[in-house]
Structure 1
Amino acid sequence: MEPLAYRMRPKSIDEVIGQHHLVGPGGIIRRMVDARRLSSMILYGPPGTGKTSIARAIAGSTSAKFRQLNAVTDSKKDMQLVAEEAKMSGQVILLLDEIHRLDKAKQDFLLPHLENGRIVLIGATTSNPYHAINPAIRSRTQIFELQPLSEDDIRTALTRALTDKENGFGNQSVTVEDSAMDHFVQAAGGDVRASLNALELAILSSTEQDGSLIITRQDAEDCLQKSSFNFDKDGDMHYDIMSAFQKSIRGSDVDAALHYLARLINGGDLPTIARRLLVISFEDIGLASPQAASRTLTAIEAAERLGFPEARIPLSQAVIELCLSPKSNSAITSIDSALADIRKGKIGDIPKHLKDGHYQGAKELGNSIGYQYPHDDPSGYVSQQYLPDNLKNKKYYQPKNTSKSEAQFKQIYETISRQKKK
Structure 2
Amino acid sequence: MQDSDVIKALVRAVDILKEDHKNTTIEVDEKALNYFAASSNGDVRKAINGLEVAINSTNPNSEGVILIDEEVARDCTQSKVFNYDMSGDSHYDILSAFQKSIRGSDADAAVHYLARLVKAGDIQSICRRLMVIASEDIGLAYPNAAMIVKSCVDSANMLGFPEARIPLAQATLVLATAPKSNSVVCAIDAALQDIEQVNIGDIPVHLKDAHYSVAKALGRGIEYKYPHNYENNYIKQQYLPDNLKSRNYYVPGKNKNEKVIFDYWKKVEE
TM bin (shorter chain): 0.7 to 0.9
Task: State the partner residue of 2:148.
Answer: 295
Amino acid at match of 2:258: E
Shift of 1:272: 1.1
Shift of 1:412: 3.3
Note closer, same or farther for the CA distance 1:270–1:357 as it changes in structure 2 (3 Å cut): same
TM-score by length of 2: 0.75
Cα deviation digits, residues 240-282 of structure 1 (max 9, x gap): 1100100000001111111110110111111111011000011
Amino acid at match of 2:74: L
Amino acid at match of 1:412: Y
Note closer, same or farther for the CA distance 1:362–1:399 as it changes in structure 2 (3 Å cut): same
**How does 1:236-255 map onto structure 2 within 5 Å?**
236-255=89-108
CA distance in 2 between partners of 1:338 and 1:241 (Å): 30
Shift of 1:389: 1.1
Which runs of no fewer than 5 residues in structure 1 stay unpaired? 1-15, 24-47, 57-66, 71-155, 162-180, 205-218
Cα deviation digits, residues 348-375 of structure 1 (max 9, x gap): 1111111110467632156983110001
Task: State the partner residue of 2:65.
Answer: none
Shift of 1:222: 8.5
Cα deviation digits, residues 163-208 of structure 1 (max 9, x gap): xxxxxxxxxxxxxxxxxx8x7765567536649x79xx9xx9xxxx
Note closer, same or farther for the CA distance 1:339–1:384 as it changes in structure 2 (3 Å cut): same
**How does 1:108-257 map onto structure 2 within 5 Å?**
157-158=30-31, 190-191=46-47, 194=51, 224-225=74-75, 227=78, 229-231=81-83, 232-257=85-110
Note closer, same or farther for the CA distance 1:303–1:251 as it changes in structure 2 (3 Å cut): same
Task: State the partner residue of 1:211.
Answer: none
Q: Is the 8 A contact 2:6 2:47 kept in 1?
A: no
Which runs of no fewer than 5 residues in structure 2 stay unpaired? 22-28, 62-68
CA distance in 2 between partners of 1:414 and 1:54 (Å): 70
Higher relative strand content? 1
CA distance in 2 between partners of 1:50 and 1:342 (Å): 54
Q: 2:233 aligns with which of 373, 380, 389?
A: 380
Task: State the partner residue of 1:105.
Answer: none
Note closer, same or farther for the CA distance 1:54–1:194 as it changes in structure 2 (3 Å cut): closer
Q: Is the 8 A contact 2:210 2:221 kept in 1?
A: no
Task: State the partner residue of 1:150.
Answer: none
CA distance in 2 between partners of 1:301 and 1:362 (Å): 46
Shift of 1:411: 1.7
Q: Is the 8 A contact 1:401 1:407 kept in 2?
A: yes
Note closer, same or farther for the CA distance 1:332–1:49 as it changes in structure 2 (3 Å cut): farther
After superposing on structure 2, the runs of 4+ consecutive aligned residues of structure 1 that deviate more than 2 Å are: 48-56, 67-70, 156-159, 183-195, 219-226, 228-234, 358-362, 365-369, 412-416
Count residues with an aligned counterpart: 242
Are 2:205 and 1:355 aligned? no
**How does 1:51-66 map onto structure 2 within 5 Å?**
52-53=13-14
Q: Is the 8 A contact 1:303 1:310 kept in 2?
A: yes
SS at match of 2:250: coil
Q: Is the 8 A contact 2:208 2:221 kept in 1?
A: no
Task: State the partner residue of 2:192.
Answer: 339
CA distance in 2 between partners of 1:268 and 1:51 (Å): 31
TM-score by length of 1: 0.50
Whose relative contact order is higher, 1 or 2, with alpha carbons under 8 Å and at least 6 apart? Answer: 2
Are 2:130 and 1:277 aligned? yes
Are 2:5 and 1:18 aligned? yes
**How does 1:45-56 map onto structure 2 within 5 Å?**
49=10, 52-53=13-14
CA distance in 1 between partners of 2:186 and 2:11 (Å): 43
CA distance in 2 between partners of 1:283 and 1:222 (Å): 42
Note closer, same or farther for the CA distance 1:394–1:188 as it changes in structure 2 (3 Å cut): closer
Note closer, same or farther for the CA distance 1:222–1:346 as it changes in structure 2 (3 Å cut): same
Shift of 1:18: 1.8
Q: 1:405 aligns with which of 249, 257, 261?
A: 257
Q: Is the 8 A contact 1:284 1:327 kept in 2?
A: yes
SS at match of 1:305: helix
Amino acid at match of 2:13: T
Q: Is the 8 A contact 1:285 1:292 kept in 2?
A: yes
